[in-house]
């Protein structure tokens, strides 16, 4: 037991000085969460847009709901392509790709303060049942929308941290 404790202390001491700092210092009341809570999501077109905007609003609202200082504009590109063919030339596998280009705009000045992209893809097996394939495509879109929203919020949090005043 003593050796285990000594090993844990030996590992913990160098890690304490590594310079890593928690992103959400202060939790929901911290400065980064407050900045994220001041972002309004502009409407996004299509089913994918509805899913992504809902996921973004859910995540940003959980961090606080202040007065909107920023507007988040998102444009999506949703594609499904066939990857593999069976001997009868029917598609056996598809890949659904969802890409987002987003801009964070300061409402006071109208300037773009962040311009970035996010993306993810999912493989889909095409089976004999058309209903099952459509359901798999829809489920893939739901998962991709959640992933895109997570990527966007993470990038927004990094922006918020970078723009916070430095403390001595």
Which domains does the chain possess?
Answer: 22-162 (3.30.160.150)
CA distance 54 to 42: 11
CA distance 83 to 106: 41
The model's pLDDT over 67-104, given as tens digits with 9 standing for 90+, comes to: 889 999 999 999 999 988 888 888 889 999 999 999 99
Bridge partners (DSSP) of residue 99 are 77, 119
For residue 28, is pLDDT > 80? Answer: no
The model's pLDDT over 93-150, given as tens digits with 9 standing for 90+, comes to: 999 999 999 999 999 999 999 999 999 999 999 988 999 999 999 999 999 999 999 9
**Residue 151 burial by CB count (10 A; 0-12/13-18/19+): exposed, middle or buried?**
middle
Neighbours of 26 (CB within 10 A): 11
The phi, psi pair for 111, rounded to 5°, reads -90, 150
pTM: 0.79
Bridge partners (DSSP) of residue 81 are 95
Comparing 22 with 67, the larger pLDDT belongs to 67
Comparing 49 with 9, the larger pLDDT belongs to 49
Of 33, 79, 59, 21, the residue nearest 151 (C-alpha): 59
């Amino acid at each position: 037991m003593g050796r285990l404790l000594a090993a844990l202390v030996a590992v913990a001491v160098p890690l304490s000085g590594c310079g890593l700092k928690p992103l959400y210092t202060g939790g929901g009341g911290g400065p980064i969460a407050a900045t994220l809570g001041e972002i309004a999501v502009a409407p996004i077109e299509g089913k994918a847009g509805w899913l992504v905007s809902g996921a973004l609003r859910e995540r940003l609202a959980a961090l606080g709901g202040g007065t909107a200082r920023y507007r988040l504009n998102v444009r999506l590109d949703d594609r499904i392509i066939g990857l593999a063919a069976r001997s009868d030339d029917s598609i056996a596998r598809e890949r659904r790709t969802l890409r987002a280009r987003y801009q964070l705009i300061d409402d006071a000045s109208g300037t773009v303060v962040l311009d970035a992209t996010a993306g993810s893809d999912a493989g889909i097996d095409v089976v004999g049942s058309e209903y099952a394939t459509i359901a798999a495509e829809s489920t893939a879109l739901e998962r991709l929308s959640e992933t895109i929203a997570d990527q966007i919020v993470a990038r927004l949090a990094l922006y918020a941290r970078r723009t916070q005043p430095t403390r001595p």
